[in-house]
Amino acid sequence: MDRHEIFFTGKFEKDFEKLSKQDKTAVLEKIEILNNNSRYQTIKVKGKENLYRTRVNDSIRLLWKFRNSQIIVILRVGHHDIEKQRILEKI
pLDDT in tens, 41-58: 788 988 888 899 999 998
The number of domains in the chain is 1
Which CATH number fits the domain that encloses residue 52? 3.30.2310.20
Contact between 54 and 40 (Cβ < 8 Å): yes
pLDDT of residue 88: 58
Alpha-carbon gap, residue 91 to 10, rounded angstroms: 13
Residue span of the structural domain in which 31 resides: 5-90
pLDDT digits (tens, 9 = 90+) for 1-14: 568 899 999 999 99
